[in-house]
Amino acid sequence: MEHARFTLAVPDDADLIGRLTTALATQSDPPISLLRSGEAVLTFESVTGELMLRSRVIQALELAVGPDWQAIARRVE
């Protein structure tokens, strides 16, 4: 199975990261790990395809932040 990684820069807000972590934990398998590097860079990893990982992270962001999640998240290459 493919192993995908997706990295975003988000505000360094403990409440936001907590909500995002909770939203990810409520999703089905395979689990998505959230690794924090630096103050506001989050890397999401899972044993799934890259498009599926991105879709699930976006769903979690919509739950954690709301429909304006794109205003606070920026993809990191």
Distance separating alpha carbons of residues 19 and 45, to the nearest angstrom: 18
Phi, psi of 60 (to 5 degrees): -65, -40
What are the residues whose beta carbons fall under 8 Å from the beta carbon of 23, sequence distance 6 or more?
59, 60, 61, 63, 64
pLDDT in tens, 42-72: 999 999 999 999 999 999 999 999 999 999 9
- Rounded distance between C-alpha atoms, residue 13 and residue 53, angstroms: 22
Q: What is the reported pLDDT for 37?
A: 82
Domains of the chain: 4-75 (3.30.70)
In this predicted structure, the answer to whether residue 1 has a pLDDT above a threshold of 80 is no
**Quick one: what percent of the chain has pLDDT higher than 90?**
75
